[in-house]
Each structure stands twice: as C-alpha cells, then as structure tokens.
Chain A
Amino acid sequence: MKIAVCIKQVPTREWQPRLNADKTWIREQDVSYEMNEPDAYALEESLRLREKHGGEVVVCSAGPTRVQQVIREALARGADRAIHVEDAALGAADAYAAAAALAPAMAEEQFDLILTGLQSDDQGHAQFGPVLATRLNVPHSTIIMEVLVDGQSLRVKRELEGGWFQHIAMPLPALLTIQSGINQLRYATLKGIMAAKKKEIKKVATPGAVASRQKVLALYAPTKSKQTTMIGGSPAEAAKELVKRLREEARVL
C-alpha cells in the first residue's frame, strides 16, 4: 500500500507569540517549530498500516525551507521518503493554498491512502484534508480514531461529539483526517535518525503563485470574557488567599 502522510510544521506549544511590525502576522524569526501534533499521530498510523500491509510511507509537506526539520523527523521515525513543495510564501499560507500547492505532486503519485492531521495547531482551519480530497477526487472522512484496511476497502471509526463514534466504510483510494490519541506514538531512535540522512526528499516548486482564500487584516491578543482576579505571593500565600476567597467570596467550599 502506498500511503501519504501530510505533515505541517507549526510553532512549539511553549512559544510566546510576538507580532510583526504591521500586526498582521507573527514575528517568524522568534519562533521555534515542531511537528503539528495530530500529524504525528497520522504518521504513526501510516507506519502501523505499512507494518501490517507492506508498501511505503511518503511524507508530504508544503512550506519554506525550514519545514525540512519536521520532514527529517518523520523520516527518522520511519517514513520512507518525502515530497517537499517548497516556497517561502507557503509559511503563512492557509489550508486552501497548502492543498493547492501539494495536490499536483500528490496526484502524480497515485496514493492508495492519504492521512492528514484533523487540524493545524497554528492556523487551525480544519480544512486541508477535505479540500485535498476534493482536488484529488477521492472520498474522505474526518476525525478518525481507527483505520482498518481490507483489500481495496477501508473501514474507519469516526469520532462524533460528546463521546459518540460511528463506523464508516469507503473504497480506496481515500483520504482520512486523523485525531490525536488514535495510537501511542513512537519516537525516533538513533538508528532511525542515521537512516533518515540517506532518505530522499524530493523538492517540488509550487504550481503557480500561492493564493490564500483569506486575508489576515489584524492579529491581536484575545479579549477576556471575564474579570480574572489574579492571586500572587508565595505558593503558601497564594493558596491561603485563594481558599479564603473561595470560601468567603465565591462560597463554593
């Protein structure tokens, strides 16, 4: 089975946002990056499927040169090779533009199964998967918590709201967006890291200009919906003050 896994590089969880001069994007020079979390689960799932059914796992990523960091990491965890659609303008591209950038190179490969994360931790569109599926004319399903392949057919467990699930069957080729927690992640071994150095990363230029479907007019810190009473002091002082307020002011103890 030929499996593609789409991986996005995003700012780390610890990153504290700082804005560029015109306050329409982040100051990229301050950012350290990591693999988008659900994409790590999608990668793990693709490796497990390869272990069961044979074939290869191809990492597909669109972005500036810096995204090679996560591509290398995915190769070190066990992916076979990678396609990198490289363009500086892809750093801030939305899901529509990223899917448009990757679609031609991915169409050529004729993958049996494409896995993506369900949502990016930076822009959070939750769009890329279904948009790519539409462009490649393959069926899709989203927020997937289990993948079973049987010959040319696929049966998946889709998460619904509030602890409900649903099984869905569909033919291959297909695209699935993977939810965090579908499996337990493995991490790169030293052997994997060494082996990754020899794996192929095919660089592809973007097919035409990168055109996002939405324009960021302004970026700012969120507005508070509540007046928060911040309690300071040493841990013991803060604890004392909080318990006092919960008893006497809020009356919830």
Chain B
Amino acid sequence: MILVVAEQHDGKLNRASLEAIAGAQELLTAAGASAGPITVVVAGNGASRVAGDLAAADVGGVLTADADGLSDYTPDAWVQAIRQVIDQTSPQYVIFPHTYQTRDYAPALAATIDRALITDVIGVKQVGGAAAFSRPMFQGKLTADVAPVGDAPFLITFQIGAFRADAMKRGASAAAVSQANVTIDAAAIRQKPEAPFQEAKQAVDLSQAERIVAVGRGIKTQENIPIAEKLAKAFGAELAASRPICDNGWLPMERQIGSSGQTVAPKLYVALGISGAIQHLVGMKGARIIVAINKDAEAPIFEVADYGIQGDIFEIAPALVAELEKS
C-alpha cells in the first residue's frame, strides 16, 4: 500500500496534501495496482477536523493520528508518530508534500527507520518495471530520474505545485476514517516550539499588483538597483526581488517573491536576471504572462516564460525603458 502523510495546522489542511494525494494516485498507475491501496494519515490535534476533506479523495482510507504530545508540531514527536503508523500499515511507499515541516522531520524519520528518502520529486515514471522518480538537481539546471536503494518502504516528497490538487481523483463515496493507535513519549521530545509570528506588518501587498518587475542576482550590485526601478516605473509595475537581493538588504524583505516571501499572480511578471529556482517559481508561476531576461539561454526561468530575451540586463533594461517611454 501507499501511505500519504497529509499536513494540517490548527485543523486547517495544507493544500499541498491534496497535491501529494494526486501524486500518489499517479504513482499507483506507474507502480501498478498491487502497490495500492492508498491510505492517508494526518497527525496532530486538528487531525479529525481535516479528515473529512481528505476522505473525499479516491483513497482506501484515512487515518487520524492524535495523542498527547502532538498538539504542536515538533520533529521529535512527528518522527515517533509517523514511524508507528508505518509500522502498523507496512507501506511500500510513504509520500509527503515537500513542505517546510516535511523538510524538518522526514529525513530524521528516514534515518531512524534506515530507509531511502527521495525529496522534491516532480514526476513519477516506470523504468524497467519499477517506479522511478524525477527530481531537479543542480539548481534546476538538470533533472534526474532516480530509484530508491534498499528495502521498502521508500519515502518520497513531492515538490509543491508538481501535481495539481484539482487533478486529484475524488472517490464515488467518502473513504472510511479511523484512528491510528499512536502514543508519544513526551519526555523524548527535545524541541519546545513557540507560536508562529510574522516579522513586521507587510506594508506592500504585491499580490494585488497588476504588473511586477522582479530583479535577481544578475543585477550584481546594490548600485544597479535603480536600473530595475526605472524599468518597473516604465512598465507601471511594482518592483519585487528574488531572495538573495533581500538577503543582501538591497531591497526590503517585503518585496521578496517565493516560498519564503509573497505569492503573486499579476497579469505581467518580468524576471530580470533571475535564474528560476523552484523556491522562486512557486511564488510567481501563476502570473498570466511571464517575461524572462537573462544572459544564460539555459536558465530554468525560460522553462516557465512566455517571452524570453537572452541578453544582458544592462543593455536590455535601458532599451526597454526607452521603448516604453516612446508612446
């Protein structure tokens, strides 16, 4: 069977869980029906509140794992909980969405049970009768098809957005929901988490912008930022940035686009000297029209771009400003 580990916070389902179920359904096709059925497990105090949403999927069943010690997420508690569910269900594959929470405990879980973990998977195929998993390598410059080594279960995390939640097959009737029997040794939980918080009130809400010009490390120095600023102005666009620009303090954090910044869906997104790492793409690939300007024709940003110019920012940006100011 295939075990999908869903994620919830305070009784709210993380949508990436549905993507993981959609991916597991595809895996079932690649690995053959004998790899089924799919069981979804969701852990934590809010688990029972999201079980209904999960049971709507075309899966064999939903398990809720709730116990003392699972009220707030900690890696130590989650390793204990999911390990027990794996022991009880003996899956062939354990599937996770590649969220920050999964990144935090899935590798520790894999090491604890001494099994293979393949992360950030974007596709599933069949190679020589067995399932193989495609994942980006070298900052998205290459894709690798990889096979897990060793004994099952194989742990797999699916990249956010790689499978679509709305492509998830729904069941004819709701799947059965039951409780997994887990007990947590509270004394073995070493992390003490505090409540999540946001740094500062977001003064700029880029999610409402119609046009965005985003600048990346191709701009080279802080002194060059006005070049991007001028282009944004000429487009009538908000200025945004990739993470390294904000890390360096060249633009404020609140203008960062991506998994740790804002998610935007403007009509027009112009990526200026941005390579197109997945953590950036998840924040902007919903844009209607994407323009990429990059000196490297092989940069991954061109994989999502509608229009591309292979060229130097310092030549292209001023030429665009001149053209836009003409009319």
Contacts and interface: CB of A to CB of B under 8 A. Distances in A.
Contacts of A230: 297, 302, 307-310
Contact of B76 (A128, A139, A143, A222): A139
B305 A235 contact: no
B165 to A, nearest CB: 16
Given A181-B247, A236-B323, A125 B139 contact: no
A214 B138 contact: no
A252 B111 contact: no
B91 interface: no
A68 interface: no
A90 interface: no
A243 B116 contact: no
B244 interface: yes
Interface in A196-214: 211-214
Contacts, number: 259
B195 A11 contact: no
A162 B107 contact: no
A219 B107 contact: no
A242 B118 contact: no
A240 B291 CA distance: 14
A13 B64 CA distance: 44
Contacts of A181: 243-244, 246-248
A218 B211 contact: no
B103 A142 contact: yes
A26 interface: yes
A168 interface: yes
A235 B308 CA distance: 13
B196 A160 contact: yes
A226 B307 contact: no
Nearest to A181: B247
A46 interface: no
Interface in A215-253: 215-226, 228-232, 235-236, 238-240, 242-243, 245-246, 250, 252-253
B17 to A, nearest CB: 14
Given A164-B196, A230-B309, A143 B107 contact: no
B327 to A, nearest CB: 9
B306 A226 contact: yes
Interface in A107-132: 118, 121-131
Interface string A146-176: 0000000000001111111111111100100
Interface in B234-289: 235, 243-244, 246-249, 253-254, 259-263, 267-268, 275, 288-289
Contacts of B142: 17, 26, 219-222
Interface string B133-155: 00111111111111111100000
Interface in B80-125: 99-100, 103-108, 110-112, 115-120
Given A163-B198, A163-B199, A239-B320, A225 B190 contact: no
Contacts of B192: 168-170
Contacts of B111: 96, 99, 130-131, 134-135
A165 B107 CA distance: 21
Given A13-B139, A180-B247, A215 B260 contact: no
B243 A213 contact: no
A133 interface: yes
B111 to A, nearest CB: 4
A16 interface: yes
Contacts of A140: 75, 108
B262 to A, nearest CB: 7
Contacts of A184: 248-249
B148 A214 contact: yes
A222 B136 contact: yes
21 contacts: A99-B111, A124-B135, A130-B104, A131-B111, A134-B107, A139-B76, A159-B100, A159-B260, A164-B196, A165-B196, A166-B193, A166-B196, A215-B149, A217-B132, A220-B142, A222-B141, A228-B305, A230-B307, A231-B308, A231-B309, A235-B315
Given A125-B119, A125-B120, A166-B197, 13 more contacts: A139-B76, A164-B198, A169-B191, A213-B150, A214-B146, A217-B145, A219-B142, A230-B302, A235-B312, A236-B319, A239-B319, A242-B323, A253-B268
